[in-house]
Amino acid sequence: MSDQNLESRRWFLAIAGVVIMLILGTVYAWSVFVKPIVVAQGWETKVVQRVFMLIIGVIGVSAAFGGMLVDKKGPKFVAIMGAIFYGVGVLLGGVALHVGNFLFLLFGYGLIAGIGNGLAYVVPIATLIRWFPDKRGLITGLAVMGFGFGAFFIGKIIPDIINKVGVANAFFILGGVYLVLNLLAASTLKNPPAGWLPKGFQPAASTVSAADSFSWTEAKRTRQWYMLWCMLFLNVTAGMGLLSKLSPMAQEVIKTAQNIDDPAKLAVLGGGVLATASIFNGLGRLFWAAVSDKIGRKGTYMTMFLTQAILYILLPQISSVLVFTIIACYLLACLGGGFAVMPAFAADSFGPAYIGRIYGFLLTAWGAAGVVGGFVFAEFNKQQSLFTAAGCLTVGFIIALLFTRPKHVSEYKQ
């Protein structure tokens, strides 16, 4: 295939990758289903929330396995497997709601769909990194931006569907759509020819080439892999913690600033702040990824860590709703940016050949951070939790400052 055809093909694959990530990102729209499920089934809200806890936990574990598998079996095989599991899992969730069986909902949507989501999550990132060595930051930003926006789109569409056909039938509709679209997009994925590079592109000396890529066994023996894990963990701990309490914090500021006591009105206004900031969670993934192509992954992480630490310290003093909202938008943009920059950071450090497994295991930091961040913001008061987040980010800044590209064995021999 000619260079021109390969250039066209890689952008086509980029579109397919974004479609996959959009569908997978719908998992974050679970809150839209909670109240309809409670009303239809009579289950307690806290019980229904356990389904989301399970699927997020399963995604983190299966993403690591998906990373291993994509390096062995190739992207098409793993993406198709993930598409089948996710689509079938959502359909099984519809069956569970139709018969009113909570344990089957945990099995179908929580376990089966979670496995599929995690398997497929790594595939577009690992594949597009290989196709876009010249635009690693931008392309991974586009992919994870798709994941960030998935919940936004489904949150706009699904309430009307639930009102018309019921929550169980909504699951059947979504499961079918997810299955078909994911399978179509997954069937297009493949790795570039061995040794291929975009015309006129020469890898920078600060990155690792495909030929010199670290294997997973080699990467996990370096301190740099654990430094990247800690950087992702610390960034996500602060961001996920804030995300879990953003609406109540916004309501507190709104109540004081605008002298509003109506709980229902405060809930709506606080939810508006959360919705606005969540959009920037998606936009920040593309913005920071593009920035990292200009100033480097290390410089980008250092910038995000330092600016966030300062803002988390200032946030308890903010009394203006507008200023609070702007800061929240920026902080969630950095949360998304951390997810977007890390795949390119890992590929620059360890090479693209085994990036599926290396990055897949890095994603265990995501699951760990979700638990720790949620605990900190749940157990500590507002000022304590925000200052703890600032402390985490300060440690992250120091780690990023000390980071240097790992030396491969072949480099020592030169």
Say if residue 409's pLDDT is above 80.
no
Structure confidence at residue 187 (pLDDT): 94
Each domain of the chain, given as residue ranges in start order, spans: 3-186, 216-404
For the ranges 181-195, 267-281, 308-322, 358-372, which has the lowest average pLDDT?
267-281
pLDDT digits (tens, 9 = 90+) for 177-230: 999 999 999 999 998 887 777 887 776 666 666 667 899 899 999 999 999 999
Structure confidence at residue 47 (pLDDT): 84
* pTM attached to this predicted model: 0.76
| Separation between Cα atoms, residue 318 and residue 221, nearest integer Å | 44
Record the tokens describing residue 378, joined without a space: 């749940």
**Could you check whether 3-186 and 216-404 share the same CATH topology?**
yes
DSSP string computed for 44-104: -HHHHHHHHHHHHHHHHHHHHHHHHHHHHH-HHHHHHHHHHHHHHHHHHHHHHHHHT-HHH
The CATH code of the domain at 216-404 is 1.20.1250.20
| Separation between Cα atoms, residue 271 and residue 325, nearest integer Å | 11
Proportion of the chain above pLDDT 90, given as a percent? 45
Of the candidate CATH numbers 3.40.50.300, 1.10.10.350, 3.30.70.260, 1.20.1250.20, the domain formed by 3-186 belongs to: 1.20.1250.20
